[in-house]
Amino acid sequence: MTTLIAIILIFAFSILFTAALRAGVGAMSTVPIPYPQQRPILGGTDPETHAWQRFHVRYYTMTLLFVAFEMEMMFMYPWAVVFVQEGPKALAEMGMFLIILSVGIVYGWREGIFRWE
């Protein structure tokens, strides 16, 4: 409960702080910004299109591997707590688990998914 309150307080404070920065020099920001000033930075030229696009992510296969790997990492947190208590058994079990998953990484490496496709 205190955790939740602390987190909410911190977020509220951060939002207030950022809003206060904006409000500080509010005099100028109430005027609508003219179009030439809104043009995105390209070093003085005018873009033809919006920048938002079906962006070509060059590493998308890596993200899929990453999600699977991270899912696995979530098992390791409870494991870490009981590691000393359980001793070698825990080490062996997690070792096996990690070796299984390393196969996935090695396979991805072999398929070249860590390159900028």
CA distance 113 to 66: 11
Q: Is 51 in the site for another protein (CB under 8 A)?
A: yes
End-to-end CA distance of the chain: 46
Number of residues that bind another protein (CB under 8 A): 103
CA distance 88 to 36: 67
In whole angstroms, how close is the CB of 32 to another protein at the nearest point?
9
CA-based diameter of the chain, in Å? 68
CB 88 within 8 A of CB 94: no
Residue 60 Cα to chain centre, angstroms: 14
In whole angstroms, how close is the CB of 110 to another protein at the nearest point?
8
CA distance 22 to 78: 43
Q: Is 30 in the site for another protein (CB under 8 A)?
A: no
In whole angstroms, how close is the CB of 106 to another protein at the nearest point?
10
In whole angstroms, how close is the CB of 13 to another protein at the nearest point?
7
Residues 68-97 touching another protein, rule: CB under 8 A, are: 68-91, 93-97
